Structure 1
Amino acid sequence: MTRIVAVHGVLPPHRYPQEEITDMVGSSCRLPRGDRALLERVHASAGVRGRHLVLPLERYAGLDGFGARNEAFLAAAMELGRDAVRGALDQAGLAASEIDLVVSTSVTGIAAPSLEARLATALGLRPDVKRVPVFGLGCVAGAAGLARLHDYLVGHPGETALLLSVELCSLTLQRTDPSMQNLVASALFGDGAAAAVAVGSRPRGSRDGDPAPGGPRIVATRSHLFPGTEELLGWSIGDTGFHIMLGADLPDLVRRQLGGVVGGFLADHDVKTADVTAWICHPGGPKVLDAVREALDLPARGLELTWRSLAEVGNLSSASVLHILRDTLALRPPLPGTPGLLLAMGPGFCVELVLLRW
């Protein structure tokens, strides 16, 4: 089985309490008269205490046009992506030249050549490294990226794969959009990056065919797309860049349907919900997290590290679930041999499940 041998998260240097971000949004966005009180209520109820932003707060008021936003994305994504990969490789005790496959993902900027191609020489990746840049999966891409590493390593058990996620959500803030969706996005999303390294069942230099201890194994994965839900979550693209699509029905869909999808997946591998010792869940927001807990009948503290991550750094899109996996490994490592479930949801509307065993 695939083993995750390193997970490293990084954050940009500019950190602000939620109240200061609220003031910035209120002063720089063109809100109708009376909407400032609504903005403050939305931000106060988001479950976020503070966030890291890729730019100083005062820079956002002058950030107009998709071109300027994407230039800022490219400059910062290169730095954060480099730091995330180097940190993961150091943690794994590997050189960049030992990486055979790189999957990179972002849904908050566009790069061609893609980020991993731009970073390849500086990082020391081999010229023949296989690259799979991914755009469009959004928040689910952290879980889906791990799942695709696993798919590859099942077929190439002697190889090593890297996942890189860079999400600079603050650069997508729309200053002329007074919609509730944009206000909610301005309350939840932060900036960050993460990288994970995984090895197959017969890594190079292994004598017994077993990876070195230190991380969970990926047992199985499952993708599930909910038909007819394309408008619930995603982007619409305009002259100023990415405009959030965020359906009010999303928590109800999660509450009604997630339990059956998760329960069926676990049952296929002889695991019950009560057996799972670690729930590593993307922090979609308070209403979504409440719906996840109800759908899966989890104890009150079942998603504690997810709520903690939401409060401390906000929703980092695809990077969030990797940050929470890192926190789980560092702060709440489950007992050896017990199962864990990593899950995230994203545009489609879809869910990605990764069954782990420690």
Structure 2
Amino acid sequence: MTQSVRLLSLATAVPDHIITQSQAAEASARLFADRFKEFRHLARVFDNAGIGKRHAARPLSWFEETHGWQDRMEAYEEVASSLFVATATRALGQAGLTADQVDCVVTVSSTGITTPSLDARLAGQLGFRADIERVPVFGLGCAAGVSGFGIASRLARSRPGAVVLFVAIELCTLAFRLDELTKPNIIATALFGDGAAACVLRAGQGGMAEVESAGDHLFPDTLDIMGWKIDETGLGILLAQSLPPFAERELGPAIDGILARSRLKRGDIDRFICHPGGTKVLAAMENTLSMVPDTLDIERSVLADYGNMSSPTVLFVLERAISRGLPDRAAMIAMGPGFTASCVTLRRVA
């Protein structure tokens, strides 16, 4: 009989620097208002984003200077490494395990690049074995918190007893661009923050939750909805205005299809745990999944406290949902570049 995969632990961490939404709005006005005629119209996004503060890899003054690829990626390597060690160490400690007991590590990140990857750079410091299996994943964006979790759970299921460490790290603020006088750049400035989360999964008994199923849905001809453009200065946000209506129109049927592959239906889910991409996206998700307005209260509280941190954000939501008490069955949902919807269902452990 195949043993079920269990979530043994979950840890989160953020950089030390804090930028309040009012500070972000004031700095953006200084930097853009005189150069971008649409800024004053767009400035209301800072008030409507539902964000009180976010954590950042660098202090606010850093973002008022010009930066290129080298110093952005140096900052990424430094801060992402610190967050990787912090979250992995805490997650392993919560599970009563040490790094030399990890058989596989899955790392997702789409906001920076290091080669060798972070897991290799930190293997000696953390104490990973020489035969550890490493699976670094780039490019899944906001969906990676769920899709990467699904990848990690499938690896754990394929090797019963193996310890799989899943780490999601994003430093979205390092993509801030002084030279991008565009609506997506202003929205990104108002919306994104930095953070990391780590989970330990293993097929067996115990744990915080049982991983029941995982699946994805790739929407055709949607490459322009979300992603990066890449040039000499760094990464630049691609973000379509059509995302909330697209989510409201397309997400529900996609989730129904993913659930159906596991012989589940929407009515079997007691609580959806959603990536809080923004207040409009959350409202669209509530509508398309037939929820009462403001059902996604944990999601809104995480968005207010941290902003949209891309892939780890849904794991911050999961952490709070676990603290509140998971229902019998929950479904984690996120959307990201592709354009993709990802879903993982979890069962409460008795």
Q: Quickly name the TM-score band, shorter chain normalised.
A: over 0.9
Of 307, 322, 342, the residue aligned with 2:332 is 342
Moved more, 135-144 or 248-257: 248-257
Residue identity opposite 2:240 in structure 1: G
Of 202, 208, 221, the residue aligned with 2:214 is 221
1:281-320 to 2 correspondence within 5 Å?
281-320=274-313
TM-score using structure 2 length: 0.95
**Percent of aligned positions that are identical:** 37
TM-score using structure 1 length: 0.93
Cα pair 1:30 1:176 within 8 Å, conserved: no
Cα pair 2:274 2:334 within 8 Å, conserved: yes
> Distance between the aligned counterparts of 1:260 and 1:30, measured in 2?
41
CA RMSD of aligned residues (A): 1.5
Q: Which residue in the other structure is 2:76 paired with?
A: 73
CA deviation after TM superposition for structure 1 residue 38, in Å: 2.7
> Distance between the aligned counterparts of 1:63 and 1:199, measured in 2?
45
> Distance between the aligned counterparts of 1:229 and 1:84, measured in 2?
33
1:44-193 to 2 correspondence within 5 Å?
44-193=47-196
> Distance between the aligned counterparts of 1:354 and 1:31, measured in 2?
46
Moved more, 254-263 or 83-92: 254-263
Kindly tell me: are residues 33 and 190 of structure 1, through their superposed partners in 2, closer, same or farther at Cα, counting changes over 3 Å? closer
Stretches (4+) displaced over 6 A = none
> Distance between the aligned counterparts of 1:91 and 1:63, measured in 2?
41
1:16 aligns with 2:19: yes
Kindly tell me: are residues 96 and 33 of structure 1, through their superposed partners in 2, closer, same or farther at Cα, counting changes over 3 Å? closer
Residue identity opposite 1:249 in structure 2: S
Of 340, 343, 349, the residue aligned with 1:353 is 343
Q: Which residue in the other structure is 1:249 paired with?
A: 242
Kindly tell me: are residues 31 and 177 of structure 1, through their superposed partners in 2, closer, same or farther at Cα, counting changes over 3 Å? farther
> Distance between the aligned counterparts of 1:169 and 1:270, measured in 2?
36
> Distance between the aligned counterparts of 1:123 and 1:90, measured in 2?
12
Kindly tell me: are residues 77 and 67 of structure 1, through their superposed partners in 2, closer, same or farther at Cα, counting changes over 3 Å? same
Cα pair 2:108 2:167 within 8 Å, conserved: yes
1:256-275 to 2 correspondence within 5 Å?
256-275=249-268
> Distance between the aligned counterparts of 2:194 and 2:154, measured in 1?
28
Moved more, 289-298 or 25-34: 25-34
CA deviation after TM superposition for structure 1 residue 36, in Å: 4.1
Q: Which residue in the other structure is 1:238 paired with?
A: 231
> Distance between the aligned counterparts of 2:191 and 2:229, measured in 1?
18
> Distance between the aligned counterparts of 2:80 and 2:32, measured in 1?
25
CA deviation after TM superposition for structure 1 residue 302, in Å: 2.5
CA deviation after TM superposition for structure 1 residue 110, in Å: 0.5
> Distance between the aligned counterparts of 2:186 and 2:177, measured in 1?
9
CA deviation after TM superposition for structure 1 residue 17, in Å: 1.6
Structure 1: which 5+ residue stretches go unaligned? Answer: 202-210
**What number of residue pairs does the alignment pair up?**
345
Q: Which residue in the other structure is 1:204 paired with?
A: none
- Residues 194-229 of structure 1: CA deviation (Å, up to 9, x unaligned): 11110113xxxxxxxxx22x3111111111000000
> Distance between the aligned counterparts of 2:66 and 2:181, measured in 1?
17
Cα pair 1:277 1:334 within 8 Å, conserved: no
- Residues 23-49 of structure 1: CA deviation (Å, up to 9, x unaligned): 222323475354442342121111111
> Distance between the aligned counterparts of 1:197 and 1:302, measured in 2?
28
Q: Which residue in the other structure is 1:326 paired with?
A: 319
Cα pair 1:31 1:176 within 8 Å, conserved: no
> Distance between the aligned counterparts of 1:284 and 1:91, measured in 2?
28
Residue identity opposite 1:309 in structure 2: V
Kindly tell me: are residues 87 and 136 of structure 1, through their superposed partners in 2, closer, same or farther at Cα, counting changes over 3 Å? same
> Distance between the aligned counterparts of 2:69 and 2:294, measured in 1?
41
SS in 2 for 1:228: coil
> Distance between the aligned counterparts of 2:262 and 2:60, measured in 1?
48
> Distance between the aligned counterparts of 2:131 and 2:49, measured in 1?
44
